[in-house]
């Protein structure tokens, strides 16, 4: 038996989606709310932690959206969207935008950018993006987008790990 393998406590089958989800939860992330405006004018947004930096030159980011989401047709037809990086004071915003409620923006303070897309007040950073590629990937749709404008605040970011919210700890 290989000594390295013995050191691994548990190896779950890749098709055991519950175990996979638990293992993926070991990858701590920030939290974003991705927002846009539908062609008929409605504001749309959802909590997303699949956001990631992709390229600096050109400036590209990525995120993925569940294929069964009612928001998918809107993001498929919207040319642009905003990634609002949540601050640690925005746990309730994260919870709200992860719900399937009629008007997620009710009572959530926001401004609008040049395209009428929501910039949530109190965020740690805002990335205004233009989609350059969309592709189905398993049960999600992968969006790659160019960052056209960005702004950051001094707010500390909200973190997500193993199904729970966290604030930054000590610097190592
Ligand atoms: C911490 C967290 C991260 C999430 N990340 C994603 C994500 O990356 N992609 C996604 O499609 N849904 C993600 N979700 C789930 C959506 O926020 C949730 O399904 C939301 O209701 C989707 O909006 P919709 O009703 O417009 O589909 C996440 C939820 C939470 C709580």
Taking only the tens place, the pLDDT of each residue in 37-90 is 999 999 999 999 999 999 999 999 999 999 999 999 999 999 999 999 999 999
Average pLDDT of the chain, as a whole number: 94
From 3.40.50.410, 3.40.50.880, 3.50.50.60, 2.30.110.10, which CATH number describes the 30-156 domain?
A: 2.30.110.10
Taking only the tens place, the pLDDT of each residue in 85-124 is 999 999 999 999 999 998 899 999 999 999 999 999 999 9
Task: Give the predicted TM-score (pTM) of the model.
Answer: 0.94
**Do 51 and 34 contact (CB within 8 A), yes or no?**
yes
| 47 Cα nearest atom in ligand 1 | 17
Identify the pLDDT of residue 1.
43
Pair of tokens at residue 69 = 């989401």
> What residues does each domain of the chain span?
30-156
Identify the pLDDT of residue 8.
62
Model confidence band, residue 141 (pLDDT cutoffs 50, 70, 90): very high
Residues with CB under 6 A from ligand 1: 31, 46-50, 63-66, 69-71, 98-100, 160
């Amino acid at each position: 038996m290989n000594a390295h393998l013995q050191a691994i406590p548990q190896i779950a089958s890749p098709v055991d989606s519950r175990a996979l989800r638990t293992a993926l939860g070991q990858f701590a992330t920030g939290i974003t709310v991705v927002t846009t405006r539908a062609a008929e004018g409605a504001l749309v947004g959802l909590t997303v932690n699949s956001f990631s930096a992709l390229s600096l030159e050109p400036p590209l980011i990525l995120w993925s959206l569940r294929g069964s989401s009612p928001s998918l047709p809107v993001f498929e037809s919207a040319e642009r969207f905003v990634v609002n990086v949540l601050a640690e004071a925005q746990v309730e915003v994260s919870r709200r935008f992860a719900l399937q409620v009629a008007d997620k923006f009710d009572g959530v303070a926001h401004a609008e950018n040049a395209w009428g897309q929501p910039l949530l007040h109190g965020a740690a950073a805002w990335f205004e993006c233009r989609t350059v590629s969309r592709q189905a990937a398993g049960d999600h749709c992968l969006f790659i987008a160019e960052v056209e404008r960005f702004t950051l605040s001094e707010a500390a970011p909200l973190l997500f790990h193993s199904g729970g919210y966290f604030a930054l700890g000590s610097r190592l």
